[in-house]
Structures are given as C-alpha cells and as structure tokens.
C-alpha cells in the first residue's frame, strides 16, 4: 500500500511521522473518511467541505484547495489500484516543540491512505447489528471531526466485549449518536427520526444523503432527540457512516428491535443509496 505523507507518496507500512508532530502528542488534528465504491467517490464534496469546516473550527489553515485535494485522492487511488474501499485523510497542526500553546504559522501535516474493502457487501446488512447503549463520555464539540478518539476507542472495546457491533451513546437521557456512526429510528407510524444537528453530534455526510433520499421517497422526517426506550419500541433502527453506508440495528442492549430482523424502510433506503452512488 502507498500513502501520502507530508507531501510525498511513500510505502505506507514504513512511512513515519516526526515524534514532535502535534497529532501524535496532543491529538491536535482532524480527519475524514470517504468511501470509494466501484471506483466512484461517495459524497466526496461534502466530506471535503466538512474537513474544511473542522480545520476552520480549530484554527488550522486548509493547506490545499479543492482541486489539489481531489488530485491527491485520485493519485492515491491510482497508486493503490483502489476500486472499493476507504480513503482516510488526516490533517494535524504540525511539528513543534511540545507546548500546549502552538506557534503561529506551523505547516500542517497531511496524511492520506487507502483501505481496500467492499463497503457495500457488509454481512451485517443481512444479519443486522447489535448495539449497546453507554454514557457519551466525549467532549462538548463532537461536531468537529477530531482525531482525539479515546472515548470512542473505549466504547468500541465495550461493544466488542458485549458481542455488539456498535455503541449508541447517551447524554441527558437521549441518544446522541453511534461511536462512529449516526443513529436513526423509524417510529411505529413510519416516521424517520434522527437527532438534530448541534455540537453534540458529528454532522454526518451519510446522514444528510439518507435524509435527502428519504425525503424524495416521500417518507416523513423528524429531526429530534430520542431515548433508548423509544428506540427499543421502534419499528426499525439503523446507523449510517461513510465506512458502513447503512447498517440495520436488530438488537439494542440485548433486546430485539421489533421482530429482530432488518426492516423494509432500511432496505429500501439502502438500495436507493446504492443507486445514488452507482
């Protein structure tokens, strides 16, 4: 595999980053994950828009313009012969003497690599995923796609220990989002519900596309918080992210959602999403 590391394409597995990179020392950086399906980028524009916003929010100047970003991504795809998979982009504040206060005008460190994977053939799409709920232990700016992911790392370990696939995190009695995904439910009267955008959640790119598809299909939408109990009583539940597209949730905290099988609203949205991509 070939990676892009601070201006150059290099073999991924021997690539290095300076010890004093603030991404390594402070988690002082942001990232994006974009899917590639049959050699097509999935919603690449919105991912690059969100990268730009994350950078702005933490005061790092975007080192590349749109055409340059796309050029690097395309070259990465070419060098890795990537037909299906993920492109990971990370931008950190750069290399400096260790000090919480950062010097002005640091050169950001940019890293990209690709992962070969058939995002569209996840066995969980047929099988359904198990989710557990846990308190959301993240900071107050979850709208920034920060590389500081310790709370999510620990949440995912807890999920694995419970034989679950994802964690739905709760704050003040309501589900915020998945550890690495956006949470959706379908109410018994057929309404698609997901939490309102705020600093409590990442503005998911897949979330936005799924909502647009649902709206065009004539589904009733509601953006509002929902509780674990409402999710347990829902007709369907699912989660979305660039790395999974959409995965039906068939168990929450060990209890089945409806009949415990992936539902028709999920299936139809997933199929329409694939048509939108291909």
When the beta carbons of 95 and 201 are compared against ligand PDD, the nearer one is 201
Give the shortest CB-241-to-ligand PDD separation in angstroms.
Answer: 4
Minimum distance, C-beta of residue 40 to ligand PDD, in the bound complex (Å)? 16
Nearest residue (CB) to ligand PDD, 242 versus 277: 242
Separation between Cα atoms, residue 113 and residue 91, nearest integer Å = 12
Rounded-to-integer distance, Cα 27 and Cα 43, Å? 26
**Active site residue: 50, 145, 195, 207, which one?**
145
Length of the chain: 278
Identity of the residue, 2 or 87, whose beta carbon is nearer to ligand PDD in the bound complex: 87
SS3 47: helix
Q: Of the two residues 120 and 181, which places its CB atom closer to ligand PDD in the complex? A: 181
Tell me the C-alpha to C-alpha distance, in Å, between residue 202 and each of 11, 196, 241.
32, 10, 10
- Indicate if 156 belongs to the active site: no
Element containing residue 195 per DSSP (H, E): none
Helix (H, G, I), strand (E, B) or coil at 104: coil
Distance CA 266, CA 88 (A): 27
Q: Are 134 and 155 in contact (CB under 8 A)?
A: yes
Q: How far is the CB of 203 from ligand PDD (least distance, A)?
A: 8
Shortest distance (Å) from residue 107 CB to ligand PDD: 25
Q: Which is nearer to ligand PDD, 25 or 197 (CB)?
A: 197
Q: Which of 6, 4, 43 is nearest to 23 (CA)?
A: 6
Site residues (CB under 6 A) for ligand PDD?
A: 33, 177, 180-182, 202, 204-207, 240-243
Whose CB is nearest to ligand PDD?
206
**Closest distance of CB 157 from ligand PDD, Å:** 15
- As a whole number of Å, the end-to-end CA separation of the chain is 26
Token pair 């995923």 in the structure block, residue: 129
* Catalytic machinery residues: 145
């Amino acid at each position: 595999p070939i990676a892009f590391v601070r201006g150059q394409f290099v073999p991924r597995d021997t690539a290095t980053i300076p010890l004093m990179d603030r991404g390594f020392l402070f988690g002082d950086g942001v990232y994006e994950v974009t899917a590639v399906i049959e050699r097509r980028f999935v919603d690449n524009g919105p991912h690059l828009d969100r990268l730009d916003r994350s950078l702005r929010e933490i005061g790092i100047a975007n080192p590349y313009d749109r055409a340059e970003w796309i050029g690097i991504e395309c070259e990465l795809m070419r060098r890795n012969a990537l037909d299906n998979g993920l492109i990971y982009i990370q931008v950190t504040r750069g290399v400096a003497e260790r000090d919480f206060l950062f010097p002005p005008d640091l050169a950001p460190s940019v890293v990209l690599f690709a992962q070969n994977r058939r995002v569209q053939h996840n066995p969980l799409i047929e099988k359904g995923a198990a989710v557990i709920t846990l308190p959301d232990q993240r900071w107050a700016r979850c709208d920034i796609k920060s590389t500081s992911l310790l709370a999510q790392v620990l949440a995912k370990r807890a999920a694995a220990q419970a034989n679950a696939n994802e964690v739905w995190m709760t704050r003040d009695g309501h589900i915020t989002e998945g550890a690495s995904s956006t949470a959706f439910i379908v109410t018994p009267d057929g309404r698609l519900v997901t939490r309102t955008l705020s600093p409590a959640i990442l503005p998911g790119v897949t979330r936005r596309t799924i909502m647009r598809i649902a709206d065009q299909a004539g589904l009733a939408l509601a953006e509002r918080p929902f509780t674990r109990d409402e999710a347990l009583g829902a007709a369907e539940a699912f989660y979305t992210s660039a790395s999974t597209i959409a995965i039906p949730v068939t168990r929450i905290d060990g209890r089945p959602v409806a009949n415990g099988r992936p539902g028709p609203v999920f299936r139809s949205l997933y199929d329409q999403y694939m048509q939108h991509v291909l």
